[in-house]
Structure 1
């Protein structure tokens, strides 16, 4: 690797598996000291162990980002302490996806999804951004989703939260950009870990048929985009949503 993030420190939420894990591993491979965070201590420890075994720097902080300002502020404070007082990069990745129709979604589920997917990153950003400006700058990367702009059945609740995150990305770019903090987002398409040999095709493959990519993506695809957005290579990029979706939202889908 080129160590594009050498001497940088990063906090990646929801990084004990899948996309978040891939981002944490990619950041560490590029020289960053990474905080892996999530609710599962065992998985978090495994991710950190893998990063360290590859020569990277990482620590795990357990965190249940339930949407309360206190939970987000607590994680920000512990992350700064672990990273010697500075967070250069924040990735708001943690989220939940209940596959429920609008008519069967109860109020408790609605509140929980908005708490985790919108309130938690909102208050975490509020806790991290001021210190970034005081330190001379930083980078915030939010995770959106292709279904924020292309409706799918039983996706109304989740997609609305991701639409909120894309809107916050633009608003935060305007708010914090003049103070040296770049804010952008990544909108993944159907992303799945590489399938074990001999496993059955995933239902998500159907939604990617006829796209330019012709199939699902892997977490590494999102991680590569995150490294670019976190690095100085994207210094002139503000308030942008980078689609990493195999062309699902940007090109005509030809049904086979």
Structure 2
């Protein structure tokens, strides 16, 4: 099912958490993975781990809050991948929480840049090449709070709601050319990034039927499935990986 031999994948936010798990799994399945992130040391560590396991990977540093850096990432990824990216995983995101009245304008701009603009620019740069070859897969990582309101998460949730709409719009735009665009919607997931939530993560997870936080590998498995040939007739879907929160 997950044979990625000869394929290349770009994964943003791939130096930790869900992104690192996804990059590792795609490489284990045979893909040449372009690992992207802001931290050079973590990027090199991720690439080294993949190579030590027999996979192929390269690191490209990128600041997704800067449009020129995003464009450079796309160009450099294409260069390292021999001119073609077959899989794009828009995983990187920032998630400041807090009351609306205390949200700074700079926070709004940063979240919009990383969570919406960067995926938009990457799809604009890479999806046409996939379409010209008649094959490709894109997965956007959203969140369960893109689908319902939660106090303190207006900015984060709305940015990911926009990404869910973009997922469907891009599926309609690029699907006829053989490019599948889907999303995964994680619930409370234990990663380096959510460690700062402390007991709040467990309390949020307690609202789900599973009753516990998920693991980064749970979400990565869903991403690998959606980019695989086993999902070849799935377009514009938002797959919940949220411990069943969608059911309540």
Q: Distance in 1 between matches of 2:136 and 2:66?
A: 23
Alpha-carbon distance, 1:128 to partner = 0.5
1:156 to 154, 157, 182: 154
Alignment length (residue pairs): 244
Counterpart pick for 2:80 among 79, 82, 93: 82
Give 1:112 deviation, angstroms: 1.1
| Counterpart position of 1:66 | 65
Q: Which residue of 1 aligns with 2:105?
A: 107
Partner Cα distance (1:5, 1:39) in 2: 26
Instruction: Please state whether the residue corresponding to 1:75 is helix, strand or coil.
Output: helix
SS state at 1:233 partner: helix
Counterpart in 1 of 2:130? 132
Q: Is 1:237 aligned to 2:234, yes or no?
A: yes
- TM-score norm. by structure 1 comes to 0.92
Deviation per CA, 1:62-96: give whole Å up to 9, x if none: 0111152x322211110011011110000011111
The structure carrying a bigger helix percent of its residues is 2
| Structure 1 residue aligned with 2:17 | 18
Matched, 1:211 2:215: no
**2:46 matches 1:47:** yes
Please say if residues 2 and 229 of structure 2, whose CA atoms lie closer than 8 Å, have aligned partners that are also in contact.
no
Match of 1:119 in 2: 117
Match of 1:197 in 2: none
**1:96 to 1:180, Cα distance in 2 relative to 1, 3 A:** same
Task: Classify the secondary structure of the residue corresponding to 1:203.
Answer: helix
Task: Please provide the CA RMSD for this pair.
Answer: 1.5
Distance in 2 separating the partners of 1:193 and 1:157: 21
Question: Measured at CA, do residues 234 and 114 of structure 1 come closer, stay the same or move farther in structure 2, by a change above 3 Å?
Answer: same
CA drift at 1:248: 0.9
Shift in CA distance, 21/168, structure 1 to aligned 2, threshold 3 Å: same
Structure 1 residues 184 and 67: alpha-carbon distance in aligned structure 2, compared to 1, 3 A threshold: farther
| Residue-by-residue CA offset, 1:201-255 (whole Å, 9 max, x unaligned) | 7321111215221210000000100111010000000000000001012x22xxx
- How much has 1:185 moved relative to structure 2? 0.2
Question: How far apart, CA to CA, are the structure 2 residues paired with 1:29 and 1:212?
Answer: 31
- In structure 2, stretches of 5+ residues that fail to align are 193-197
For the residue of structure 1 that corresponds to 2:106, the secondary structure is helix
Native 8 Å contact 2:2 2:225 kept in 1: no
Whole-Å separation in 2 of the counterparts to 1:153 and 1:193:
22
Matched, 1:171 2:169: yes
